[in-house]
Amino acid sequence: MAIVEALQSNGARRLSIKNPLSGEAIDDIAVTSKEDVDAAVRRARAAQPGWAALGVAERKRIVHRALDVLMARQEEVIATVRAETGKTRVDALSIEIISSCDFINYWCGRAVKDLSDEKPGLHGFLKPLKKLRIVYEPLGVVGVITPWNGPFVLSTDPTVQALLAGNAVILKPSEVTPRSGEWAARILWEAGVPKDVLQVLHGDGETGAALVQAGVDKIAFTGSVRTGKKIAASCAEQLLPFTLELGGKDPMIVCADANLERAANGAVFLSMFNTGQVCLGVERVYVVERVADEFLRLVEEKVRAMRVGSGDDKEIGSVFWDRQLDIIERHVDDAVARGARLVVGGNRTGEGLCYAPTLLTDVTHDMAVMREETFGPVLCVMVVPDEEAAIAAANDSEYGLSASVFTTDEEKAIRIARRLRAGSVMQNDAAVIYGIPEAPFGGLKSSGMGQVHGGSRALRGFCHAKPIVLDRWKQDKEEIWYPLTERTTKSLEKTIEFAFGKVLRRLMQ
C-alpha cells in the first residue's frame, strides 16, 4: 500500500494521500509548481513590511490567540493527524498538542523581551568613546520545510517563532501529512495572521526545492540527512542562512548503578513512542554486562506486553509511511541474517502498516540497524563490558543528535555526557530535550547544522541583530581621523601604555 501516490491529471501534478491504518484514500493535494512558489514568495515579500510594522507587542497579541484557537479546535487537529499518520491518541496529545500549546505560549511570553532593542554596556576600553544599541530586525521571508513524523508541532514551532520575529512565512509541509502541517497555519490564520504573511504550499521535494531557490531569506528545515544535504548545498550557493534539524541514531547507556526498572521502562517507551518515528528516539541501547541479564529480562517482558493497532486502548499505532516500513523491515532482516537474536516481534501485524514492537539483542555495529536510522518500533540492545566501552560504542556513529545515560549518579551522568559526541544528553530520559525550549537544540555530525530554541536565542535566530553604534562626545573629529599630526601618534602610544599596562588592563576588559 503506497501512502502517497501520483494521480493521473492533465494539469498540475496531484498526489493522493492514504490513511496508513485503513488504506483508504483520505485526501489529495496539487503539487505547487515553481511558478506558483515564486508568486507566493512575491506575495509574502509584499505583505511582510506591514506585519513587521505592527510591532512585536501586537504580533504577539495576534499569535497568542492561536493558543485559544488550538484549545478550541484540538479535536479536529488530532483527527487530521491521526488520519494521516495512524498514531495513537496519546501520541497525538503529547507530541502534537501539548508541545504546540507550550511552544506558542512560551514564545509569545518572551517575544517582547527578546525582540526589544538592547543597550549593552561597552567594555572598559570603549566605554568612554561609544554607545551601542542592538536592534532585532526580521529577516524577511522565511521558508519552513517540515517532515511527517510530528507534522503539526514541527510546523507550528518554527512558524510561530518566525512570525513573532516579524517575518512572513511560507510553510511546506510533508506530502505524507499535508493537512496536519496545514493546521499550523489554520490556527494562526484564525487568530488573525494575514493570509499573505503566512502561506502554505503543498507538494513534495520538487516544491521544497523550488522554495529554497525562490529568493527567501532563511530556510528552517526539519527532515532527513539526505534532503538536508541538498538544502545545505542550495543555500550555500545563494549564501542563504539555514538551520537543519536532521535524523538521529540516538544511543542510550545503561550503567550498573541505574534504576533498572526505570531504564527498562525508558528503553521501551523512548524507542517506541510515536511508533518509533522520532528523530530523538532511542535507537541503540548499550547496557553494561553486570546488569544486562536483569535489564534484558525486564525489557523483554515489557515489549511482549505492548498493544499495537488503531483502538484507543493501543499503546503504539501504525508506521506512518510504507517507505519507512520498508526500511524497518530491511534493517530487522539484515540484523537477523547477520546473527542478531530476534527476541520479540519482527513482523507486520494487525491493520495497515502496523509493525510488531521488536526487540533485537546480540546486535553489532556491522548491522544496518545499528548504523542507519531505523525510525520504527525496534529496540536494539547491545551488552558491553563497561561504561568505557559504552561511551566508545555510543560515539561510533555518523549521527550525533542526542544521547541518554541511565545512572542514579548525577556526577557520573555529567562526566559521561561531556564525553558523548551528541547535540544534547539526558540523564534517565531521552527525547524530552525538544520540549525544553530554554535549551539550545541541534545535532552534531550528520544530525544537523545550527541550533534552534535556546531561550532568547530562538526568536533572534529569525532576525538580523543589527548593532547601531552611537556617538558619545559630539566632537568635530575623532583622534585618529585626518589630518594626522604628531599628537595623533603620541596619543595612540599613550593609550596603549595607559590602557594595557599592567596596572589598568583589568579595568579595560
Q: How far is the CB of 212 from ligand NAD (least distance, A)?
A: 5
Query: What 3-state DSSP class applies to 381?
Result: strand
Q: Any contact of residue 145 with ligand NAD (CB under 6 A)?
A: yes
Which residue in the set 197, 231, 328, 393 belongs to the binding site for ligand NAD (CB under 6 A)?
231
Q: How far is the CB of 122 from ligand NAD (least distance, A)?
A: 37
DSSP string, 95-143: IIIIHHHHHHHHHHHHHHHHHS-B-PPPPTTTTTTEEEEEEEEE-SEEE
Which residue in the set 14, 42, 73, 230 belongs to the binding site for ligand NAD (CB under 6 A)?
230
Q: Which range in 30-38, 170-178, 361-369, 408-416 contacts ligand NAD by CB under 6 A?
A: 170-178
Q: Any contact of residue 208 with ligand NAD (CB under 6 A)?
A: yes
Q: Any contact of residue 154 with ligand NAD (CB under 6 A)?
A: yes
Q: Any contact of residue 172 with ligand NAD (CB under 6 A)?
A: yes
Q: Nearest-CA neighbor of 153 among 78, 83, 86?
A: 78
- Considering beta carbons, is residue 352 or 443 the nearer one to ligand NAD? 443
Q: 178-191 and 153-164 helices cross at what angle (nearest 10)?
A: 40
Q: Any contact of residue 204 with ligand NAD (CB under 6 A)?
A: yes
Q: Any contact of residue 205 with ligand NAD (CB under 6 A)?
A: yes
CB distance 23 to 352 below 8 Å: yes
Q: How far is the CB of 504 from ligand NAD (least distance, A)?
A: 48
Q: Nearest-CA neighbor of 46 among 218, 194, 266?
A: 194
Annotated catalytic, 279?
yes
Grid-cell match 485526501, residue found: 27
Alpha carbon distance, N-terminus to C-terminus of the chain = 66
CB atoms within 10 A of CB 350: 15
Its sign, for the CA torsion 22, 28, 33, 38, is negative
Residues near 247 by Cβ (< 8 Å), separated by ≥ 6? 224, 225, 279, 373, 375, 399, 401, 446, 447
| CA angle (464, 469, 473) in 5-degree steps | 170
Shortest-Cβ-distance residue relative to ligand NAD: 208
Which residue in the set 84, 157, 245, 300 belongs to the binding site for ligand NAD (CB under 6 A)?
245
CB atoms within 10 A of CB 289: 12
Spatial distance between the Cα atoms of 6 and 491, rounded to a whole number of angstroms: 75
Size of the residue set binding ligand NAD (CB under 6 A): 31
Q: Any contact of residue 223 with ligand NAD (CB under 6 A)?
A: yes
Q: Any contact of residue 174 with ligand NAD (CB under 6 A)?
A: yes
Which residue in the set 175, 182, 217, 250 belongs to the binding site for ligand NAD (CB under 6 A)?
175
> The C-alpha cell of 421 is what?
559526541
Q: How far is the CB of 64 from ligand NAD (least distance, A)?
A: 24
Active-site choice (108, 235, 255, 279): 279
CB distance 413 to 427 below 8 Å: yes
- Considering beta carbons, is residue 204 or 300 the nearer one to ligand NAD? 204
Q: Any contact of residue 246 with ligand NAD (CB under 6 A)?
A: yes
- Considering beta carbons, is residue 244 or 267 the nearer one to ligand NAD? 244
Active-site choice (96, 245, 372, 373): 245
Positions that interact with ligand NAD (CB under 6 A): 145-150, 154, 172, 174-175, 204-205, 208-209, 212, 222-224, 227, 230-231, 245-248, 279, 373, 375, 401, 443, 448
State the catalytic residues: 245, 279
